Amino acid sequence: MTASTTSSATASAATAADPDSAAASLSAGAFWSDAERHLVRYGPAFTPEIIERAAGSFVFTAEGRKILDFTSGQMSAILGHSHPEIVATVQRQVASLDHLFSGMLSRPVVDLARRLAETLPAPLDKALLLTTGAESNEAAIRMAKLVTGGHEIVSFARSWHGMTQAAASATYSAGRKGYGPGAPGNFAIPVPNTYRPDFTAADGSLDWRRQLDCAFDLIDAQSTGSLAACLVEPILSSGGIIEPPAGYFAALRDKCRERGMLLILDEAQTGLCRTGTWYAFERDGVVPDILTLSKTLGAGLPLAAVVTSAEIEQEAYERGYLFFTTHVADPLVAAVGNTVLDVLTRDKLDERARSLGAFLHRGLTDLATRHPVVGDVRGRGLLAGLELVADRETKQHSNELGARVTRRCLELGLHMNIVQLPGMGGVLRMAPPLTATEEELSLGLSILDQAIGDATATL
């Protein structure tokens, strides 16, 4: 008897006793059987829940469980799930103008480009609308190479910029082994991690200036003289919610200027109010040469952008810049982007992210006072990280602890994301919707409190 035959026989027997539960069981069994048989696995194991719908800060499973979503989907749904204004925009726009030949323009596209420029400092006033973060980084790198005439790209050693060729070649946190050579001329520089400093001052703190100087000494030694750009995140998210110290990006910009490189900032997760300001780079007073946006711009729908100056755009155009894709400048998602800007502005969600972020940070700091396994609390606004360690004094990491806390959170009704990289503890990555309430954040903190306690008790 095959496994599928056994499952059918078991389900048939159960049906006689409880038809409704048996039908649900059979449906779930068929779902996972089909998933195993027909889906390509593209990352870590799938969450063992069938998600039927989502609304606001919660997702709902086929079994009727309500799970608080502390990741905003894939760090994207900044207005929560199924926001009524996003729903209305999609319904209206798809009925009138959804997709066009890529050389045609529509009002939603031009409106969004103009409105994005209005949220940004000069000279960022030219936008290219695309679909994903990887695609926007691909387009930005391609533009930087064409304009500078170079091909070498510098990124952080724990970066994540996407899985397409140029973006993946600038990604160092995962996915590099087994695929052959990446694009030539990609270099990594160390992450300025204040919790785990590598270059230290006399007091043991991170000496990031010496670290940065050393990093570019090594870049200069390896470069063939063809440096094009530095592509970095203002706050490394997949790298463990690591925020470089104040002053770092101004110094990094100067390193780029000295070498004729462009500075590209990837604000896929930090852009559009999540960190408490419209853009994370505002804290540092540094304006990038090229800005890439995605995730938060579409609030869960596939929309991304490359924004640059008129001068760089003109140079790229004169050199024949080509990034002609199937869904470039699509009107449907551009209309959604305009609605996202409407809601962010009207509801002052930058201020809300600052307020709720302070509330979340206080709650996480309180957890740290009661759980010795909490090594560090960090982040800005509603992008937060909590690093778990086996020993707070030595900062010894424990992959098992992080995995147990994450599993227990899901069992208790909280979806969390864990970042586990060599040389660091498990970092719980939190990015609730900007529309979340204090009550929802309190619920998440309460579940996390219990999950940490339960997980440490079983180690």
Distance CA 288, CA 265 (A): 6
Q: Which residues contact 226 (CB under 8 A, 6 or more apart)?
A: 149, 150, 151, 152, 185
Q: Is 233 a catalytic residue?
A: yes
| Contact status, residue 142 vs residue 323, Cβ threshold 8 Å | yes
Concerning whether 126 is annotated as a catalytic residue, the answer is no
DSSP secondary structure letter of residue 312: H
Give the tokens for residue 219: 């870049």
Catalytic residue check, 295 = yes
Residue 444 CA to residue 84 CA, distance in Å, equals: 24
Q: Please say if 176 is a catalytic residue.
A: no
Q: Which of 158, 274, 295, 354 is catalytic?
A: 295
Catalytic-labelled residue, pool 269, 350, 354, 408: 269
In the set 138, 152, 207, 266, the catalytic residue is 266
Catalytic residue, chosen from 233, 267, 350, 387, is 233
Closest CA to 296 of 279, 314, 271: 271
Catalytic residue among 126, 274, 404, 429: 429
Among residues 69, 93, 145, 160, the one annotated as catalytic is 160
Distance, in Å, from the CA atom of 75 to the CA atom of 81, rounded to the nearest integer, reads 12
- Phi, psi (deg, nearest 5) at residue 401: -60, -50
Q: Based on the residue annotation, tell me whether 429 is a catalytic residue of this protein.
A: yes
- Is 266 one of the annotated active-site residues of the chain? yes
Q: How far is CA 97 from the centre of its chain?
A: 29
Q: What are phi and psi of 60, to 5 degrees?
A: -125, 135
Phi-psi bin for 175: left (phi > 0), alpha (psi -120 to 50), beta?
left
- Residues acting as catalytic residues: 160, 233, 266, 269, 295, 429
